[in-house]
Amino acid sequence: MSRKKILVTGGAGFIGGNFVQYMVDKYPQYDIYNLDLLTYAGDLTKHKHIETKDNYYFVKADIAERETIMALFEKEKFEYVVHFAAESHVDRSITDPGIFVQTNVLGTQILLDAARAVEVTKFVHVSTDEVYGELDFDPSTFFTEETPLQPNSPYSASKASSDLLVRAYHETYGLPVSITRCSNNYGPYHFPEKLIPLTISRVLNEQKVPVYGDGKNIRDWLHVNDHCAAINLVMHEGVNGEVYNVGGHNEKTNLEVVKTIIKTLGKSEELIEFVKDRLGHDKRYAIDPTKLENLGWKPTYTFETGIAQTIQWYLDNTEWWEQIISGDYQKYFDKQYTVNK
């Protein structure tokens, strides 16, 4: 296989970070460039073991800074772009929507211009099922690629806007793009503000676990390694201009997820604390992944095997998440969940 130069944006974050490691290990013959601004969500310590590899490079940059991005593409002439970089937390988008438009919409548009200027072979835009809005509790309904976009939060609205720009660059300029829309991810290196790592870290510390509303909101969980494999497949085989939904049919209520973690760690359900519901909290997400399965993908984890692996990973890597939940993050946690009570 020939050598390829691949730019991964947001490769210091949760999914981008797992993807960078997946690609560096799987393809020694590809050069993997990790571009990240290192916001609160970015962390390079996770890449210690690949930093010395010949096929890994790191670039600190803001995707919303046009001149920097255009100059980098001009210099490196990337063949592939896999775009993860984003503001990704719904709660933060409710308190401060502006940065979501700046990074997720403007940043994506600048990357599209840069990709166009150097005529990339493929631009993979990593999006989310949240752009489809919400489903009701009827278990026979799923999001397909034809479901209309009806984003409900500033986060999902900014992602939907970026999806439309990516589509438009294909339709208008013929840019070779594919869009992936994945359900909720979990797994190693997940920032502890999201439900699963938040629950694991708080249960381990015998702290109360906040659950929004009545805990009945349903999410469709996918292990991050299965998401990485899906993106790799779309990068190599995805049809230009197409959207692919990514999900593994693992629907669970938030309360079921929290109870599973508490049970696995042998703690008491008395740790659960119901807090005032999130504004505009979507009821249910569920993905129909048939189109991606027809391209050759299938998940390797069930929710049960994946959550067991993830809990074990957090037990084995306490140092990583303990450094994160100290300092500024603690202030954010106190504000978010105390005000909402």
List residues binding ligand NAD (CB under 6 A).
9-10, 12-16, 36-39, 41-42, 62-64, 84-88, 103, 107, 126, 128, 159, 182, 184-185, 191
Q: State the catalytic residue, choosing from 36, 91, 129, 163.
A: 129
Question: Distance between CA atoms of 158 and 104, rounded to whole angstroms?
Answer: 6
Annotation says 22 is catalytic: no
Instruction: Write down the least CB distance from residue 230 to ligand NAD, Å.
Output: 11
Instruction: Write down the least CB distance from residue 62 to ligand NAD, Å.
Output: 4
Annotation says 130 is catalytic: yes
Burial class (CB in 10 A: 0-12, 13-18, 19+), 213: middle
DSSP SS3 for 341: coil
Cβ–Cβ < 8 Å for 140, 287: no
Instruction: Write down the least CB distance from residue 203 to ligand NAD, Å.
Output: 20
Residue whose token pair is 């890994």: 56
Identify which of residues 271 and 324 has a Cβ nearer to ligand NAD in the complex: 324
DSSP 8-state code for residue 300: S
Identify which of residues 245 and 271 has a Cβ nearer to ligand NAD in the complex: 245
**Phi, psi of 135, deg, nearest 5:** -105, 160
Instruction: Write down the least CB distance from residue 155 to ligand NAD, Å.
Output: 8
Q: Alpha helices, DSSP H only, in 89-134?
A: 90-95, 98-100, 108-117
Identify which of residues 12 and 209 has a Cβ nearer to ligand NAD in the complex: 12
Pair type for strands 218-223 and 177-182: unpaired
Identify which of residues 36 and 282 has a Cβ nearer to ligand NAD in the complex: 36
Looking at residue 287, its amino acid is I
Length of the chain: 341
Instruction: Write down the least CB distance from residue 181 to ligand NAD, Å.
Output: 7
Q: State the catalytic residue, choosing from 155, 169, 186, 189.
A: 155
Q: State the catalytic residue, choosing from 43, 91, 130, 251.
A: 130
Instruction: Write down the least CB distance from residue 151 to ligand NAD, Å.
Output: 12
Question: Distance between CA atoms of 81 and 64, rounded to whole angstroms?
Answer: 15
Count the Cβ atoms, other than its own, within 10 Å of residue 232. 18
Identify which of residues 39 and 264 has a Cβ nearer to ligand NAD in the complex: 39
Annotation says 155 is catalytic: yes
Identify which of residues 120 and 230 has a Cβ nearer to ligand NAD in the complex: 230
Question: Distance between CA atoms of 203 and 199, rounded to whole angstroms?
Answer: 6
DSSP SS3 for 182: strand
Looking at residue 46, its amino acid is K
Please list the active-site residues: 129-130, 155
